[in-house]
Amino acid sequence: MKLDEVKIDERVIGILKEQGIEEFYPPQEMSIGYALNNENLVLSVPTAGGKSLVAYLAMLKSVLNNGKAMYIVPLRALASEKYEDLKIFEKIGIKIAVSYGDLDSPEPELESFDIIIVTSEKADSLLRHRSHWLKKITIAVADEIHLINDPGRGPTLETILSRFKENAQIIGLSATIKNSEELAEWLNARHVKSDWRPVPLKEGVYLDGEINFTDNTAKKIKKEKDEIVSLVSDTLNDNGQALIFTNTRRSAEGLADKLSGLCKKFLDENEKSELKKVSEKIIKSQSEMTSVGSRIAKCVENGAAYHHAGLSNAQRKIVEKNFRNGKIKCVAATPTLAAGINLPARRVIIKNLYRFDPNFGRMPIPILEIKQMEGRAGRPQYDREGEAVLIARNEDEKNRIYEDYLLNETESIYSKLGSESALRAHILSSVASGFVNSEEMLKNFIGNTFYACQTDIWKLDEIIERVVGFLEENNMIKGFNATKYGKKVSDLYIDPLSAVKIKNALEKNVSSDFSLLHTVCATPDMRILYLRKNDYEWVEEKASKHRGELITEDDDEYFLAQVKTACLLEDWINEFSEESIVKKYGVGPGDVYAKTETGEWLLYSMRELAGLFNRGIMRTLNRLMRRMKYGVKEELLELTSLKGIGRIRARVLFKNGLKTIDDLRKIEVEKLSRIKKIGKGLAEDIKQQVDK
């Protein structure tokens, strides 16, 4: 079907044709009529099957008819990617915004935009803050809607859709899942399911120098020193790129190191020169020099890379961009990359079918996740076909992989809203926002969720009663009205149990810096660090040193893990180098940023709750929060208030006798510019700021 055959604004058609889009893919042709007719739709199609375009066109039609659209994604990186896709429509007057930060703000300025791209957490936060403009939303798109199955973000996405589906068109975009029809039934939506892909996918198993595919074809592979090297070498010889999925960060890094020598052989002189510049860019992207940055930079210079959550956002974006443009030949990644980010390759190699779960030990990876990884195989417009290859160690394992993964259906997805941790947050939110104000309304709301479609009514009533009891006992709601405390907890976007722990600490007048850091690390909102064998002695020593200060003093492993995490935050605010923190705690720069960002948010929440329970500590918490934001000792806070001055430059200025804003006013620009890490441009900018 040609674009001109459907009722779309001519200006939109013109822009699509400029992008080389002239006609619809088969799944798009099957679904576009429903989408443009304002019908709810669940579109279950493999990666690169054109799902997003259907959603874009439905949003654009709604917006051009004076509506407002919300596009909900699971990841910040995906939000940025969708923004890049959609901003081409700004030329016809469509105003597009992306928002995923500050979870304690209603962001009223978003009302002036037509399409708002948000993470599910941000959408939920806006609902909690009772942003009145949300009533104007006429269409809500849920990208990766199958993540309702995810215990972490699933309940949030589910409750958002439960609230929007009463008044807005809902479009859910999903990978191919077994029970997508059940999702469609819940949303009262049309259901379109297709296995069509723009680039055909061949799935196979590699064993002993040969890939056997499910279509009964086979391919001989020249055997090198191991399976991965053999498969990557074969891919590069065929002028393709390889994407390898492995189950740990360490394995991803080791593979990239091992393959960088191989990849380098396939680079021409121009590519070597370009990758040298990319490598230098990675080094410059670091606020501080770290071994992680040096290691990834060295791999990239040779045409290989790794990708996992331990890298900084800047490092991950550089890797993604240069793999897409073909400069990087091979990327070894953990499965997080499979969750929606557009990074296709000629051949996808899946090294591991098991991963370690801290609660259950060695566990098989679900079929759905394997299919998501496989979906990255095949680059539209470049490859005639994509290959997804799983690795077997023997004939028995080869047969098992065929039966369990390649010839098997993906699992059904199930709501995860039934956990008490999820329900206590979302029930409080629904009461605090005024969405429900009686037991009957609450039961109707929960009864409108995907969870209710999959659960017996008597179980629902039992869980609701237990969660409402918890909220009442802790004085967050009274008679289905939120207390001042309850409203504050909901607005702060923290787990009510986190609020209870913080309130207990405030009422016990916990006041030392370390005890406050430990308090935020003892909440369920902080993902704590695991203990390694060599951690126990020094962590126990630290816990013993602060005995009597901490809100919990159990000598169990969970408590010690909280202490270890608090130590990382303490090292950060005491200006330990990023490199020393990375080595001491066995984490990556991305983990350091994630922990300190969460720490800052929880300290902010604690300061806000202190306004209700312990006003005397608010100044201490405000200082600690700012130190967490910049990673500095208190003496540098004034300097870090300046734009362009982070922890490293602030310390350099301090050591050069420039300890205050007033000191910077008095120094000449020329002299300031000669200080290490400052330079002329920044010196001039600093002077402009301090002379205002």
CATH of 420-630, one of 2.60.120.10, 1.10.3380.30, 3.30.70.260, 3.50.50.60: 1.10.3380.30
Candidates 476, 544, 553; CA nearest to 522 is: 553
Task: Give the DSSP letter string of 320-353.
Answer: HHHHHTTSS-EEEE-GGGGSS----BSEEEE--S
Q: What percent of the chain has pLDDT over 70?
A: 97
CA angle 179, 181, 187 (to 5 degrees): 115
User: Residue 511: its pLDDT value, please?
Assistant: 87
Are 58 and 171 in contact by the 8 Å Cβ rule? The answer is: yes
Q: Average pLDDT, stretch 9-29? A: 93
Q: What are phi and psi of 212, to 5 degrees?
A: -105, 120
Is the pLDDT assigned to residue 29 strictly greater than 80? Answer: yes
Least confident of 1-5, 95-99, 508-512: 1-5
> Using CA atoms, how far apart are residues 634 and 626, in angstroms rounded to an integer?
9
DSSP H or E run through 640 = helix 637-640
User: CB-based burial of residue 472 (10 Å sphere; 0-12 exposed, 13-18 middle, 19+ buried)?
Assistant: middle
Is the pLDDT assigned to residue 1 strictly greater than 90? Answer: no
Q: Average pLDDT, stretch 116-123? A: 94
User: Residue 650: its pLDDT value, please?
Assistant: 93
User: Residue 199: its pLDDT value, please?
Assistant: 92
Higher-pLDDT residue of 357 and 313 is 313
Higher-pLDDT residue of 591 and 568 is 568
Sign (positive or negative) of CA dihedral 70, 75, 77, 78 = negative
> Using CA atoms, how far apart are residues 591 and 573, in angstroms rounded to an integer?
15
User: Residue 270: its pLDDT value, please?
Assistant: 94
User: Residue 148: its pLDDT value, please?
Assistant: 95
Task: Identify the CATH number of the domain defined by range 639-690.
Answer: 1.10.150.20
User: Residue 344: its pLDDT value, please?
Assistant: 87
Q: What percent of the chain has pLDDT over 90?
A: 71
Output the average pLDDT for the chain. 91
Alpha helical stretches, state H, 19-133: 26-36, 51-64, 76-86, 120-128
Confidence tier at 201 by pLDDT (50, 70, 90): very high
Least confident of 11-15, 148-152, 378-382, 446-450: 378-382
> Using CA atoms, how far apart are residues 507 and 422, in angstroms rounded to an integer?
26
Confidence tier at 341 by pLDDT (50, 70, 90): low
Model pLDDT for residues 636-645, shown as the tens digit of each residue = 999 999 988 9
> Using CA atoms, how far apart are residues 597 and 574, in angstroms rounded to an integer?
16
Is the pLDDT assigned to residue 361 strictly greater than 80? Answer: no
Model pLDDT for residues 387-443, shown as the tens digit of each residue = 999 999 999 999 999 999 999 988 999 999 988 889 999 999 999 999 999 999 999
Q: Average pLDDT, stretch 575-590? A: 90
Say which amino acid occupies 620.
T
Q: Average pLDDT, stretch 498-521? A: 94
214: Cα within 13 Å, side-chain hemisphere = 17
Please give the CATH superfamily to which domain 201-406 belongs.
Answer: P-loop containing nucleotide triphosphate hydrolases (3.40.50.300)
User: Residue 80: its pLDDT value, please?
Assistant: 87
> Using CA atoms, how far apart are residues 55 and 35, in angstroms rounded to an integer?
7
Confidence tier at 359 by pLDDT (50, 70, 90): low
Q: Average pLDDT, stretch 212-239? A: 94
Confidence tier at 311 by pLDDT (50, 70, 90): confident
User: Residue 679: its pLDDT value, please?
Assistant: 87
User: Residue 103: its pLDDT value, please?
Assistant: 67
Candidates 212, 442, 241, 463; CA nearest to 332 is: 241
Same fold, 201-406 and 420-630: no
User: Residue 691: its pLDDT value, please?
Assistant: 84
Are 584 and 557 in contact by the 8 Å Cβ rule? The answer is: no
Is the pLDDT assigned to residue 309 strictly greater than 90? Answer: no
Model pLDDT for residues 513-561, shown as the tens digit of each residue = 999 999 999 999 999 998 999 999 999 999 999 888 887 755 688 999 9
Residue ranges per structural domain of the chain: 3-193, 201-406, 420-630, 639-690
Q: SS3 letters for 413-448?
A: CCCCCCCHHHHHHHHHHHHHCCCCCCHHHHHHHHHC
Q: Average pLDDT, stretch 268-281? A: 93
User: Residue 308: its pLDDT value, please?
Assistant: 87
Are 304 and 263 in contact by the 8 Å Cβ rule? The answer is: yes
Is the pLDDT assigned to residue 340 strictly greater than 60? Answer: no
Give the number of residues written for the chain: 692
User: Residue 338: its pLDDT value, please?
Assistant: 59
Q: What are phi and psi of 622, to 5 degrees?
A: -65, -45
Terminal alpha carbon distance of the chain: 61
Higher-pLDDT residue of 344 and 300 is 300
Q: What 8-state DSSP symbol labels residue 530?
A: P
Taking domain 3-193, whether its CATH number is 3.40.50.300 is answered by yes
Sign (positive or negative) of CA dihedral 406, 397, 369, 336 = negative
Is the pLDDT assigned to residue 190 strictly greater than 60? Answer: yes
610: Cα within 13 Å, side-chain hemisphere = 22
Confidence tier at 146 by pLDDT (50, 70, 90): very high
User: Residue 561: its pLDDT value, please?
Assistant: 94
User: Residue 104: its pLDDT value, please?
Assistant: 67
